[in-house]
C-alpha cells in the first residue's frame, strides 16, 4: 500500500545556489502522528508548505496515496488533506459557524451552498472542537486560543484524512497548548486522522508524536520514535545545546543546560 503522504527528493530555494530544503524524503503512513522538529531556518515550515501544495518544489514530488499532488484537482486534494496555518487573517468579522461552513467548499459544486448533510458535518466539526457554544460569535470577539480552535474546526469540516499543522501552539498559553494537543490526539486516535505537525516544543513533540523527524539545513538528520531521537548527542548536534534527558514513563523529557561551547 502506498504511504498516505510521500515526499520524494524535494528541493526548494529562493535562489538556485542556496536552497532552504534539499534532498528531502519522507513517507507518512496512514494514522500516524509525525512531528517535524528542528532549529529556526532548518526548512521545516517550508517542507510543510510543500506537502500542503502551498509552495511548489523546484525539484521532487509530493504524492498522496501514490498519486502526485501536481496532477490532482485542487478540490480533490482539499477533500483529503488540509493544513492549519501558523497565522490566519485576524480582522475577519464573520461568525465561527460561517467560517466552519467554508470548510465544506471542497465537497460542494461551485454553485452549491452548504446545507442538509453538509450542515450536519459543520455541527460535528463545531462539537468536536468544542466551538458549539461560540458558533454565532464573530471571530473578532474570540481569544487567541478560541480563534485557533475555530480555524481547526474549519479544517475538520473538510473531513480530511491528513491534517498538517504549522506550529499551532506558538501563540497559546500552556493550558491552551495542551488542550489543543489533546484535541488533536483525539482526532488522531478516534477519527484515525493522519497528523503531520511542525512543533517548537520538543517535550510536547516527544509526548504526543509517534514519530519524530529532525531537520537541519534543509534535510533530515534524525528520524525515529521519540526515545530513539531524543538523546544527549541529538541536542548537541542538531540544536547546539547541552541537555539532560530524563525518562518519564517511557516518554523522554529534556532539560536544557546551556549552549554548546566550541
Provide the minimum distance between the beta carbon of 100 and other proteins in the complex, in angstroms, as a whole number. 11
Closer by beta carbon to other proteins, 108 or else 221: 108
Check: CB of residue 169 under 8 Å from CB of residue 86.
no
Cell of 247: 525518562
Name the residue with cell 494537543: 181
State the minimum distance, in angstroms, from the CB of residue 39 to other proteins. 24
Q: For the CB of residue 26, give the shortest distance to other proteins in the complex, in Å.
A: 20
Cell of 101: 461552513
- CA-wise closest residue to 200 among 187, 214, 189: 214
Minimum Å distance from CB 98 to other proteins?
Answer: 6
Gyration radius (Cα) of the chain, Å: 19
Cβ-based nearer residue to other proteins, 44 or 53:
53
Residue ranges binding other proteins (CB under 8 A): 52-54, 73-79, 82-83, 85, 88-89, 92-95, 97-99, 102-103, 105-106, 110-111, 113, 123, 126-130, 132-133, 135-136, 138, 151, 158, 179, 182-183, 186
Q: Which is nearer to other proteins, 38 or 103 (CB)?
A: 103
* Residues paired with residue 196 on neighbouring β-strands, in sequence order: 34, 164
Rounded to 10°, the helix 174-190/144-157 angle is 10
The DSSP code for 112 is P
Q: Which is nearer to other proteins, 31 or 132 (CB)?
A: 132
- The helix or strand, by DSSP H or E, that contains position 41, with its residue range, turns out to be none
Shortest separation between residue 182's beta carbon and other proteins, angstroms: 6
Q: Which of 19/82 has CB closer to other proteins?
A: 82
Amino acid at each position: 500500500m502506498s504511504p498516505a503522504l510521500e515526499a520524494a527528493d524535494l528541493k526548494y530555494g529562493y535562489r538556485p545556489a542556496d536552497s532552504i530544503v534539499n534532498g528531502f524524503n519522507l513517507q507518512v503512513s496512514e494514522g500516524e502522528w509525525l512531528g517535524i522538529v528542528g532549529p529556526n531556518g532548518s526548512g521545516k515550515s517550508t517542507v510543510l508548505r510543500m506537502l500542503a501544495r502551498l509552495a511548489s518544489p523546484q525539484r521532487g514530488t509530493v504524492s498522496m496515496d501514490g498519486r502526485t499532488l501536481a496532477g490532482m484537482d485542487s478540490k480533490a486534494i482539499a477533500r483529503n488533506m488540509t493544513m492549519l496555518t501558523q497565522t490566519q487573517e485576524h480582522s475577519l468579522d464573520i461568525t465561527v459557524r460561517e467560517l466552519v461552513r467554508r470548510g465544506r467548499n471542497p465537497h460542494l459544486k461551485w454553485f452549491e451552498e452548504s446545507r442538509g448533510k453538509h450542515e450536519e458535518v459543520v455541527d460535528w466539526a463545531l462539537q468536536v472542537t468544542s466551538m458549539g457554544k461560540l458558533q454565532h460569535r464573530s471571530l473578532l470577539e474570540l481569544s487567541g486560543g478560541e480563534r485557533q480552535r475555530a480555524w481547526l474546526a474549519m479544517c475538520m469540516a473538510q473531513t480530511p484524512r491528513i491534517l498538517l499543522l504549522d506550529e499551532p501552539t506558538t501563540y497559546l498559553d500552556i493550558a491552551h497548548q495542551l488542550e489543543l494537543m489533546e484535541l488533536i490526539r483525539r482526532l488522531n486516535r478516534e477519527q484515525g486522522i493522519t497528523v503531520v505537525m511542525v512543533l517548537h516544543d520538543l517535550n510536547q513533540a516527544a509526548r504526543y508524536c509517534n514519530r519524530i523527524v529532525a531537520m537541519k539545513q534543509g534535510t533530515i538528520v534524525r528520524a525515529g520514535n521519540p526515545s530513539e531521537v531524543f538523546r544527549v548527542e541529538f541536542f548537541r548536534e542538531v540544536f547546539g545545546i547541552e541537555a539532560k534527558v530524563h525518562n518519564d514513563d517511557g516518554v523522554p523529557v529534556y532539560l536544557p543546560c546551556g549552549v554548546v561551547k566550541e
